[in-house]
Amino acid sequence: MELRQLEYFLAVVEEGSFTAAAARLYMVQSSLSASLLGLERELGTQLFIRGRHGAELTDAGRALLEPARAAIDDAARAHDAVSEVTGLLRGSVRIATVAVPRSVDPVVAIRRFQDRHPGVQVHVLHDGARDLVGLVAEGQVDLAITPLTRRTSPALLFEPVVSTPLGVVCPAGHRLGGAHEVDVRELLDEPIIDLPRGWWVRDLFDRMLEERDLRRQVRLEVDEWFGVLAMVQRGMGISYGPRACIDDAVFGEVAVATIADAPQWELGIAMRDPALRGAAGRAFLDVYRRQVRDQATG
């Protein structure tokens, strides 16, 4: 069994089809299929059910899934360990992030990191609806910049970075613009642009209403924070979000109001135990922490 066969196997699982996996790996589909058929012959069982609508795992394929991921991770850690000793940091680092305040935007750290370590591949997953803490726990990413949406375990650490209350964002000139300690009941008379369920900020807003026994009709959902701000800017309604993430330098034609007794949105770095991170992941974390410290002292 070769490591590349396991990489091909995981690519098909993640992409859902041989065609998409071959495109991702920059190889012809026939070569990918031949390699995985060889793996199946070696294991003596079928790993995929190949159909018109893609590739589905068999029971044997599902049994191979976690060992394959572990083998890939072990190989990456071995490569990182050797590279670290020789002083030539290589490998890859996988980062997941939600929309964050500009002061802690990982883009700054990524640029600095790549200047220092051009041999490292950086993969960024930007998603506000997925459980990014879960992706860290499962080893699919090295670290995540995310709200803490679940309890951690001893192998999963959470380092707070920003704590900010929910606020109201509305079009420039709106009656609520600049208001302080707005009663949340006043918001229900306005057309509200929502983020979908699954976003932590939406969960916080819904819980705030439930605690006050308030009901509302959801009319418009937008699955992207900057899309919400753009619609508010165009006067399509008001919305809510972490106060520190409402960047009036980017969206200048919006106004902000504070909410009375608003819940706190807490952002931090979710990461695995240092023993489970490779050299590239540790190096990037050092650069990002330095950026956060610089912003705080600045």
**b vs e for 268-292, b when ≥16 Cβ sit within 10 Å of the residue's Cβ?**
bbbbbeeeebbbbbbbbbebbeebb
Where in 24-86 does DSSP place strands (E)?
48-51, 54-57
Average pLDDT on 81-109 reads 79
**Model pLDDT for residues 120-152, shown as the tens digit of each residue:** 889 998 877 677 888 887 778 888 999 876 665
Please give the Cα distance from 255 to 179 (Å, whole number): 9
Q: Which domains does the chain have, with CATH numbers?
A: 3-73 (1.10.10.10), 82-161+267-297 (3.40.190.10), 163-265 (3.40.190.10)
Decide if pLDDT at 87 tops 60: no
**3-class SS of residue 54:** strand
**Model pLDDT for residues 280-296, shown as the tens digit of each residue:** 888 899 999 999 888 77
Distances (CA, A) of 289 to 104, 137, 159: 9, 20, 10
pTM above 0.75, yes or no: no
